Homo-oligomer: A and B are copies of this chain.
């Protein structure tokens, strides 16, 4: 029997217990062992809960019980979660987590600690919710030099953008509706400003490079400036708008990474990823493009990924699973120096100025819109685009990168 402790009995934590219990026969078969949830750590009491008797309030009960060999850290945050994870790993207990913030911040250190103690630190649930993406990168695409990763990594923003597209509604309106339905937090900043996607692309980029990509250095823009009008012009051009976390290996030591809304062709496989679904698009030098799609959040999908890590730990008791993510920092390329084309929306009276500023581009028109127009610039440096937009001032109403 393998004893498991769950740290945090919130949404994901209760999901982990539910998956282990409800799919007991499968999980035990796949683990080649019997899994038993021995403890659930939470500060709260859960009177009447079927697992009430497993609740403990002191993490030391878990840390000092030699029978516990796997710990699921689903508390979130980088305070107590960081301490408990370190303590568990130091005692040779494997840790499985959905905590992207902690993984992005302390991944290499915790992986090293796990290795030193012949146990594992696994984090399949930290990116893409239930979508298998971490294990495919670590254990499936092992013959590939991975050149680029582009993902729709945040369910809340994808839900909002999908709704805006479908209903022609503006951001604020859809955000409010999403909050009312519980799809967006009351304090939505981490999602809508792109911070959540940033942590996830930092994790994926680090695995791509085998070295550390500092999430705090990634240029990050959210979706708050995207308007219903932009979706109209996108549609006129056969495009849609998605929040991408994207990362491209420029060399073994340098990566171009950013989080921002991108306007993409409706023909792109990522264009059909709607609502709360996520997808990760990976480009390798032998395989070319591959994509991994599914539910990027939610209690049971996320819990399923945590439990798949528990199964992997059970299969590798006392053995460290290979994961390449060194402490060495990767250089982040200066986004301002990179080249791409852009969409701008500008006031109708500025047509001549826009065409003069970005010669050789393409005008987009939408019936019944007379006060503004859309424009695709040619490929140009980000810094040149920014400088020209600054000169144009208030005449530029929106700007979105093309991918």
**A25 and chain B: residue at smallest CB distance:** B145
B143 with A285: CB separation less than 8 A: no
Interface string of A4-31 (1 = CB under 8 A from B): 0000000000000001101100110111
Name A271-291 residues within 8 Å CB distance of B: 271-273, 284-291
Determine the chain B residues whose CB is within 8 A of the CB of A301 once the complex forms: 286-288
A322-B23 contact given A284-B304, A286-B303, A288-B294, CB 8 Å threshold: no
- Measured CB to CB, the closest approach of chain B to A12, in angstroms, equals 12
A27 with B142: CB separation less than 8 A: yes
Stretch from A73-81, A102-110, A305-313, A381-389 forming part of the interface with B: A305-313
Assembly stoichiometry (copies): 2
B142 with A30: CB separation less than 8 A: yes
Determine the chain B residues whose CB is within 8 A of the CB of A311 once the complex forms: 142-143
A130 with B26: CB separation less than 8 A: no
**A287 and chain B: residue at smallest CB distance:** B130
A143-B27 contact given A136-B135, A303-B286, CB 8 Å threshold: yes
Counting chain A residues whose Cβ lies within 8 A of the other chain, the interface size class is 35 or more
CA distance in complex: A22, B285 (Å): 10
Determine the chain B residues whose CB is within 8 A of the CB of A130 once the complex forms: 286-288, 290
B304 with A294: CB separation less than 8 A: no
CA distance in complex: A271, B272 (Å): 9
Asked if A144 CB lies within 8 Å of chain B CBs, one says: yes
Asked if A295 CB lies within 8 Å of chain B CBs, one says: yes
Determine the chain B residues whose CB is within 8 A of the CB of A291 once the complex forms: 291-294
A23-B145 contact given A29-B324, A132-B136, A140-B308, CB 8 Å threshold: yes
Determine the chain B residues whose CB is within 8 A of the CB of A132 once the complex forms: 136, 140-141, 290
Interface centre among A27, A30, A287 (most CB of B within 10 A): A287
Interface centre among A19, A132, A142, A312 (most CB of B within 10 A): A142
A290 with B293: CB separation less than 8 A: yes
CA distance in complex: A23, B286 (Å): 9
CA distance in complex: A30, B308 (Å): 21
Residues on A close to B: CB < 8 A?
Answer: 19-20, 22-23, 26-27, 29-32, 124, 130-132, 135-136, 139-145, 210, 267, 269, 271-273, 284-295, 300-301, 303-305, 307-308, 310-312, 315, 322, 324
5 contacts between A and B (CB under 8 A): A23-B286, A135-B139, A287-B300, A288-B295, A290-B294
